[in-house]
Amino acid sequence: MQTEVFSELFPLLSTANPQSLEWLLDVAIDHEYPPERAVLMEDAWGNAVYFVVSGWVKVRRTSGSDSVALAILGRGDFFGEMAILDESPRSTDVIALSPVKLLSISRERFIQILFKDPHLHHRMLQLMVRRLRQVNLRLQMRSAPPAVKLAQTLTGLGESYGQKSEKGSEIFNIPFKDLAEVTEISVDETTKIMEKLHEKGWIKIDSMNNIIYLVNFQQLVNLAAKV
What domains sit in the chain, N to C, each tagged with a CATH number?
3-139 (2.60.120.10), 144-224 (1.10.10.10)
Mean per-residue pLDDT, 127-144 = 83
| E-state strands within the chain | 29-33, 38-40, 48-54, 57-63, 66-73, 78-79, 93-96, 100-106, 163-165, 168-172, 203-206, 211-214
Kindly indicate the confidence band of residue 76, based on its pLDDT and cuts at 50, 70 and 90.
very high
Mean per-residue pLDDT, 116-129 = 89
Consecutive H or E run containing 128: helix 118-140
User: Are 131 and 61 spatial neighbours (Cβ–Cβ below 8 Å)?
Assistant: no
Mean per-residue pLDDT, 38-50 = 75
Mean per-residue pLDDT, 161-175 = 94
pLDDT over 70 for what percent of the chain? 93
pLDDT of residue 221: 95
pLDDT over 90 for what percent of the chain? 60
Q: Is the pLDDT of residue 209 over 90?
A: yes
Of residues 67 and 154, more confidence is placed in 154
Q: Is the pLDDT of residue 45 over 60?
A: no
Kindly indicate the confidence band of residue 89, based on its pLDDT and cuts at 50, 70 and 90.
low
Q: Is the pLDDT of residue 206 over 70?
A: yes
- HSE-CB at 81 with a 13 A cutoff on CA atoms is 16
Mean per-residue pLDDT, 146-165 = 95
Mean per-residue pLDDT, 116-132 = 88
Range of weakest confidence among 81-95, 111-125, 179-193: 81-95
User: Are 198 and 204 spatial neighbours (Cβ–Cβ below 8 Å)?
Assistant: yes
pLDDT of residue 59: 93
Task: Name the most confidently modeled range: 41-45, 146-150, 163-167.
Answer: 146-150
Mean pLDDT of the chain: 89
> What angle (nearest 5°) sits at the alpha carbon of residue 191, between those of residues 74 and 179?
25
